[in-house]
Structures are given as structure tokens and as C-alpha cells.
Structure 1
Amino acid sequence: MNHPTTLHALNGRPSFGHRPWLAWLGGGTAVAIAYVLMPYGRAAAALYVLATFGAAALIAMALLRHTPPQCRSAWALIAVALGLAGTGHLIWYVLDLRGLDPFPAAPDFFYLAVYPLFMIALWRLGGPARKDDGALGDALIVGISAAVLAWALLIQPYLYDPELSSMQLLVSAGHPVFDLMLLPLVLRLVFRHSTRIDGQLFLLLGVLAYLAADLFYAHGNSTGWYQAGGVTDAGWLVAYSLFAAAAWHPSTSIDRDERSRSPELSRRRLYTLGSAAVLVPAIILFTAGVDHDTVRIAAGASILIFLLVLHRMGGLIRETQRQARALQALSRTDPLTGAANRRHLEAILADELARMRRLETPLSIAFLDLDHFKQYNDTYGHSQGDRLLRDVVAAWRQELRPSDTLARYGGEEFVVVLPHTDLDQAVTVVERLRHRIPDNQTGSAGLACAEATETPDQLLARADQALYRAKNQGRDRACIATMDDRVPAEA
């Protein structure tokens, strides 16, 4: 069910006064463009730092509004993460503008501290893990494929750089490694929830913009083309503005369970998984005989992807089986009371008659009807009448054996099938049932013991005739069917 505020936000003509998220998105984009166009210096540095802290403050303010975003703890972590990023930017610009270039330096540790907070926030926003959900497994398939590509392009060059110390290696490789850990969490969020043009999509685009800026920075830093004040830095600013817009968008306050998808594979999701599965063998193909380390990494990743695909297929099979069992149960069950329905009763009765003839054991059935049920409905309302029917079934089940069948025949009429039960025993059972009707209501019953030559319809007809006789005699009683009640079989 859509939140009314969300529909208003998505369908009407937006205005900045009533749509603050538009202001944050437009303002952040304008700041990113201004930063790229400005000459690199103190003014550009101040703009960048203030924009980062401003995004953190806007997200924190969103948590205090009348309709805060769902999972406030996750958004609080994102606000803290942007605060750490802003602190890192401030220190880095101070050092860079003074001509100092220590590596690693304090800003690197502030930047690396952002990732664990992002990971926890994304996991919480994705919701708790559910068995056979499939979203995390699918995300890992894509993430492992991306990890192989990132290894070949970004991580491996640092490992073979003899000029890097151990600490420098850890910090340099830390950014792409953390990015690869974030990617499955982002994809889990994409696969589990819908991506309409709302706060959910802004958040996803923000994380992807952040990852893209990180990857461009890592590649540019390793190859020497990165320069401060360029488009790469602007990518982080765009990400910050998307985070702020997401926190303020009305749709972010919608319960995430209302946006959850079913675990089925959509066509777009299937294409994504197929492309990811093909990527790793392609890397092996192009690097075989040239880069043995990459081949080993890619081969290991192929094995992991294959195992994840098997796990995913197993999950889909289990989900299909669960749905089949649920559908079968629905086809046999009365939706109001949970008792067997008329179709299932006919199948059960045919089986029990066949077993009775084969084993030569008695079989009895009883037609039961709630007395004056229409009057009860008129007095207390149909909802109370439905409640009475449910309570009757719950009470009667406590008096019956697991081998007995209780079915709703229609309206307030029920049929009880009692295998291995003669007529005297059936009378005892039915009297117990009649005295268990809630709300001091009474019931009438007609009983019949099956004959070897009877069909299910004939047996039901005899019990039904006995029920009518009980009603005609004043209700609140049970009558036993005789052979005179037998209806001739149709020719």
C-alpha cells in the first residue's frame, strides 16, 4: 500500500518549498558543478568541506522531522559516516594546500572508517536475512565477478609496486577492497526492494556514485592521471547530495516490508546474474598465459559462483515446493474456518468407503447444523457469525481424533467423517460435539453408518435426511439415519 505522502510527492508538480529533497538534490548538484569549475584553492576546498558536513547535518535533521525515514539507526550511521568523511576532507585539504603529501596520513584513516558504517547501514536498510530470500546469494554472484575485475585493474598493481610499504599497501588497497564489500550489500538492497524514482532509488544511486568515485580515484591514483579538484572529487559530492535527498524524500518513511519483492527471478535480474557469471570466464580467457595470478583468482571465483548458483537454484526449488504445498492446502481447506472444504470431503469419503470395504471395519458420518444461525447473524452481525463458525471448528477439533475429518459443507453445515467408528460410538462423539458449541448456541445432527454397497452421495444423503428429521422435531438433538432414508442411485 502506497503512503499518501509518497503519492503526492511523485504525482504532483513539485515545488522546492514543499519538496525539500528537491532542494538538497538540486543544490548538491550545483555545488558539484561549481567545484569543478572553480580554480583549485582555498575557496574550492572550503566549499567541498562545507558541502560534506552540510549533507551530514541534513540527514541528521531528517531524523528529527515528523515522519522520519524508516530504520533511523541506519540513517544515523550514514550521517556519522559523512561527518567522518568531512573531517577527512578538511585535514586532507589543509595538508594539500600547504604542499604536504604524507602517505598514509590521518585523512586516509577517516576515509576508511566510513566503510564499516556504510556496510552496517546498508545491511540494516536491506532488512533482516530471510531463509531462501535469494537476494544476498545473487548479490554475491555479481560481487565476486566484480572482485575479479577489480583485482586485475585496481588491487594487483598495488601488490607488485616495490615502492609501497606494508602500511601504504594496506591503505591503497583498502579502498577498492571495501568497495567490493559494499557492492554485494548495495545489490542486496536492489534485489530485495523496488527501485521506483523515490528515496530508495536516490540512496542506491548515491552509493553507486560513491563507489564509482572511489574506483576512478584508485585507478587514477595508480596510473597518475588523478588531480584534486576534478570530476572524480565531484562524484563524492553528488553522492552526498543523493544521500541527503533520500533521507528527506517522503517515500523513505514507508515500511520497507511493503516494498519487498518476492524471491522470484525477474528478467532483468536474470540478465545481471548471467552477465556476472560470464565475466569471470572471459577474464580467464583474455589473461591466460599472460597473468597467471589473475587466472588463479578467476578460476577460484568461478568455482564460488558455480556453488552460489547451485545454492540459488536450490532455494528456488524449495520456494516452488513451498508454494505448491500452500496451493494444495488452499485447494483442500475452507478459507474461513480452516476445516476441510467440500471437494476434499468428497475425496476423503471415497477413500474411507474403499478402506471400509477392504478392511471390513465400520465407518460413520454425521451432518451437523448450527440452530438458528441466521437469527444469530441478524442479531450480532456477520463478523460475529464468522467468528462463531471459526470457534466451533476450533472447539470440535479438540474432540476429534487425527484420523477423523471435519469439513464445512456449506454455510453453517458441517460433516464429520469417523473411520473405524460404529453407530453407538458415533452418537457419543456427536453428543460431545453438540455440547461444545460456543456462545450457548445449540446444534442439530444427523448420523449414518455406511453400508458396503453405498456411494459417497448416498451416505451423505442419508445423514442429511436424518439431520432434517432432527430439525423438524424441534432442533437441538441428533437423529440416526435408517435404510428408509436411502436415496436410490441414479441410473
Structure 2
Amino acid sequence: MQPTARPAYVALGGGLLLCALYASRAAEPEGAVLYLLGAASGTALCCVGASRMPPGARHIWWALAAGQALFLLGDVLYVLIENVLGGDPYPSVADAAYLASYPALAAGLLWLVRIRQRGRQRAALLDAAILTTAMATAGFVFIVEPSAAAGGGSVLENVVAGAYPAADVLLLALLVQMFIAGMRANVASWALVGGIVALLVADLGYVASALTDTSHPAWIDLGYLASYLLIGFAAVHPSAQALSEPTPIRSSRSLARLAWLGAALILTPVTEFVAGQDADTDHHGSVVMLAGGCLIALLVVLRMADLVQQLQYKAVELAALARRDGLTGLANRRTWDYELSRVCDAARKEGTTLHIAVLDMDHFKRFNDEHGHTMGDMVLRGTTQAWADLVQGRGFLARYGGEEFTVLLPDMGLTEAEALLDQMRRAVTHDQTCSIGLATWDHRETPADLVGRADGALYQAKGEGRDRIVVSASDRPELAGSAPAPHSPAEEAPEARPAQTAP
């Protein structure tokens, strides 16, 4: 047991003691006082816990505390009307307080579901709406209408009798949605669930006693007391703060979500079938089932549209990842090959110039060995960011592989291309240097041959001392025949070239 959790357990023990005293004195005059003391202690615990919550989760627990307070107000009014004023507490103003507590509790549970699925609120709300509609339809046919019919002759009594089970169905649907959303299994979560379940069981017992026209037994009031205490205990327990943390998406929970939604979809036709076996089913039940079925169909369509939209977003993200290098964010080799082919085709049709440059970090393996790969990654990220700023709007930059990069420079003169590349050479970070090979397309050779000539110029720059730009000899007639034969980057990795490992 954590030391910080001890006050919560002490408070729970005190509340259980009040429950035991009430159970032994339920039939005595002081029984009502003990009941109200237990209810008030649970409500006070919930208020204390809500005041200690982080700002982002405080509204959840204040809503639950408001539900507790309204239910307590209903209990106080019920006791006053029955024991002090000698009147009939049902239906009365006490029922207004009782019924007002359910929306507050439902709001707290709904906010808890939404905050657990932060970033996926639309999906969570649609799932909750589908499940709630299905359960409300079945609840109306099998519980609400029979309860309303047993409420008495007046319209008010029928409305009040039917409102309680309708509110219970709403709480039950949200409780199930908590599990679908991925409830964090800790002391506070199980206490909160236990408190809501105790309330629902007590309400069910009360409805059953109303349907059978018998006085409700003492265990029903104990159920209400347990609900007060468990929700209050959940609020003050330290683990309550973890309930407001977003939950990650897990495949097992996705399967559970599909199972629950599938059950919700078949619940309405099952309800219609079962109700159809009863000859006493009236017109209202049929109308509710029709309306519920139509609403569920609409919600399912919206949910499918939401799923399709999510898949489209994921497809765009995956496509972007497939085109980009993970470390630098530049275009990768696959994207480079596509862009090179496209730009060559455009330059051939329009008769414009096109230059290709291959850039390679000097002695980068040595740098990694001396400073570590983490520092090497920093050099690559910082340098490529500077390069991207220089090339933006003027060319296309890609990571060709390892510490080798390529640049497309369309529609500019050779002098302008050399000036830009010299800026890039001087932009290398952390006192590193790079060598650059440059080639101009002759509109006849293949893109692969063009890259090969640029790589051959890079090889020459490495051999001449590095940290320089070398233009392919075939692009400068005065140097024709003096350059080494061009080769493809695929034929020899940069770190394997003799010129790159020279001091």
C-alpha cells in the first residue's frame, strides 16, 4: 500500500463503518440519520478529490461530485418529506434532485471517455452514441415502458417511473464505453466502476420493487450508500489522476471495440424479435425500435465515414514517409530517381539546361569513429537543413545514400550552379567539409550516365584534396580527356574509394 493512499483507505473504512451501523439500525429512527451521514461523507470525499485533480481533469471529478451532491439533496428531501412532513415522497421534489444527478454523472463519465481517447474524440463519441442508442432502445422496450406503466395513474408518476431506468441505461452505456476506450486498471478505476454498478443495481432493485408493488428491502439503500462511498474513494485515491491520461491505441482494444459495436448493431433487431413474441407490445415500443434502428444506421454511416477519413490520412502519411529519408527529412533515393527522370524529360522537351551535383562528406567515417554516430547524425541534420534552405525554390535535394547527397539544378547557367554549390560547401556544420562533383546534361545521355559523370567529378575532387567543387571534364572542353572515367555510385561505395580514405 502506498503511504499517500492511506488517508483514502481510512476514509473508506469510516464510511464502511457507517454502512454497518446503518444496516443494524435501518428500521430505527436514527437509521435515516446514519444513512445521510454515510451519503454526505462519500460526497465530501468526491469534492475533496476533485479539488486536488490536475486542471485538465478537474472538470471530470467535479461533474461526478455534482452528481453525488444532487443525489444527496434528493435523499435529504426524501427524508424530510417522509419523516418530518409526513407526506408522500414519490413523486415529489426529491425526484427532481435525483433525476438531475444522472446527467451530471453521465457528463463525468463521458468526459473521462473523451480524455482517455484524446485525439480520437469523434470516434469515441460516435461509438458511445451507437452503443447508447442500442441500449436505450432495448431499455425503453423492456424496462422504461413497464416501469412507466407501473408508476400509477397520473402522467407525472408515469414519467418519473420511466425516467429512472432511462437514466440507468445511459449510465450503463457509458460504463461499457469506458471499457471500450481502454480503462486503466487501477484502484481508482475499479472503485469508480464499482460505485456506478452499485447505483445501477440499487436502481434495478428499486424498479423491481415498484413493478411488484412491494416495499423495497434495506439492501437497496446499502447499495446507494456503497455508490456514494466508492465514487468518493475513487476520487481521493492517488491513482485517480492516471485515469485522465490518454490511452494508446492497441489492437486488442480495437477488436474489443468491434465486438461491442457488433453487439450494439444486433441488439435492436433482437429486441424487436423478442418484443414481437409478446402480444401485449404496444405502439410506442414499435415506434421507439424503428427510430432507434434508423438512428443507429445513421451513426454507423458516420462512423464508417470517419474510418475512411482516418485511412486516407494514414495513406498520405505512409506515402510521405516512403518518399522521405528518416534522419534528414530530405527526399530519399526512390524519390530522387523519379524526380530525376521527370526533370530530364521536361528539360529535353523545353530545351532548358540541367545540372546534377553529387555531394559527399569528407572523412565522415573517421568523424563518426572519433565523435560517435549521434554527433554524426547532428552534422547530417544540421548541414542538410542549411542546404535545403539554400536550394529551396532553385533545385531539388535528396539523400542518395549514407553521407552522399544529390542535387538537381534546372534552368540555370553553369556559373550560377557553381556559385550555389560553393555556398552549400561552405554551409557544412561542425567544422566538417564536403567534396562536390558537378555535371551538365547533354540532353542525349541517360539519367544514370549523367549521375555517373557527376560522381566521377566527385571522385576527382576527393583525389585532388577534398573540400572543393570539380566540374565534369566533358562539360569543360579545355579539360576534355584529363578526367578519370566516370563510374556509377552503385559500383563503389563512398567509404570504399581510395581517394576518400586518403589523409
Short-chain TM bin: 0.7 to 0.9
Mark the CA change 1:35 to 1:449 in structure 2 (over 3 Å): closer, same or farther: farther
Mark the CA change 1:123 to 1:112 in structure 2 (over 3 Å): closer, same or farther: same
Aligned counterpart in structure 2 of residue 192 of structure 1, from 164, 168, 181: 181
How far has the Cα of 1:339 moved from its partner?
0.8
Number of residue-to-residue matches in the alignment:
475
Mark the CA change 1:368 to 1:71 in structure 2 (over 3 Å): closer, same or farther: same
Report the equivalent of 2:486: 486
Report the equivalent of 1:49: 36
TM-score by length of structure 2 reads 0.79
Q: Does 1:174 align with 2:163?
A: yes
Aligned counterpart in structure 2 of residue 93 of structure 1, from 72, 79, 99: 79
Cα distance in 2 for partners of 1:225, 1:145 equals 30
Which segments of 5 or more consecutive residues in structure 1 lack a partner in the other structure?
A: 1-13
Report the equivalent of 1:392: 383
Aligned counterpart in structure 2 of residue 121 of structure 1, from 90, 105, 108: 108
Aligned counterpart in structure 2 of residue 72 of structure 1, from 58, 65, 89: 58
Cα distance in 2 for partners of 1:291, 1:311 equals 31
Q: Is residue 395–residue 407 contact of structure 2 (8 Å, CA) maintained in 1? A: yes
110-119 vs 355-364, which moves further:
355-364
Aligned counterpart in structure 2 of residue 112 of structure 1, from 92, 99, 117: 99
Q: Is residue 355–residue 410 contact of structure 2 (8 Å, CA) maintained in 1? A: yes
Report the equivalent of 1:346: 337
How far has the Cα of 1:136 moved from its partner?
1.6
Q: Is residue 439–residue 454 contact of structure 2 (8 Å, CA) maintained in 1? A: yes
Q: Does 1:154 align with 2:143?
A: yes
Q: Which has the higher helix share?
A: 2
How far has the Cα of 1:353 moved from its partner?
4.5
Report the equivalent of 1:134: 123
Cα distance in 1 for partners of 2:286, 2:442 equals 77
Q: Which amino acid aligns with 1:100?
A: G
Cα distance in 2 for partners of 1:49, 1:312 equals 45
Report the equivalent of 1:363: 354
350-359 vs 93-102, which moves further:
350-359
Aligned counterpart in structure 2 of residue 460 of structure 1, from 429, 434, 451: 451
157-166 vs 301-310, which moves further:
157-166
Cα distance in 2 for partners of 1:188, 1:280 equals 18
Report the equivalent of 2:222: 234
48-57 vs 480-489, which moves further:
480-489
Report the equivalent of 1:217: 206
Cα distance in 2 for partners of 1:198, 1:245 equals 9
Q: Which amino acid aligns with 1:395?
A: A
Q: Does 1:319 align with 2:310?
A: yes
Q: Does 1:447 align with 2:438?
A: yes
Q: Which amino acid aligns with 2:271?
A: I
Cα distance in 2 for partners of 1:455, 1:257 equals 56
Q: Which amino acid aligns with 1:413?
A: E
Larger radius of gyration: 2
Report the equivalent of 1:273: 261
Report the equivalent of 1:40: 27
* 1:60-112 superposed Cα distances (whole Å, 9 cap, x missing partner): 333566x8697123223323432332232233234334553143333223223
Cα distance in 1 for partners of 2:66, 2:206 equals 23
Cα distance in 2 for partners of 1:156, 1:379 equals 80
Cα distance in 2 for partners of 1:255, 1:75 equals 11
Which segments of 5 or more consecutive residues in structure 2 lack a partner in the other structure?
A: 475-483, 492-503
Report the equivalent of 1:6: none
Cα distance in 1 for partners of 2:394, 2:181 equals 42
Counterpart secondary structure, 2:197: helix
TM-score by length of structure 1 reads 0.81
How far has the Cα of 1:305 moved from its partner?
0.9
Q: CA RMSD in A?
A: 3.8
Q: Which amino acid aligns with 1:108?
A: D
Identity value in percent: 33
Q: Which amino acid aligns with 2:97?
A: F
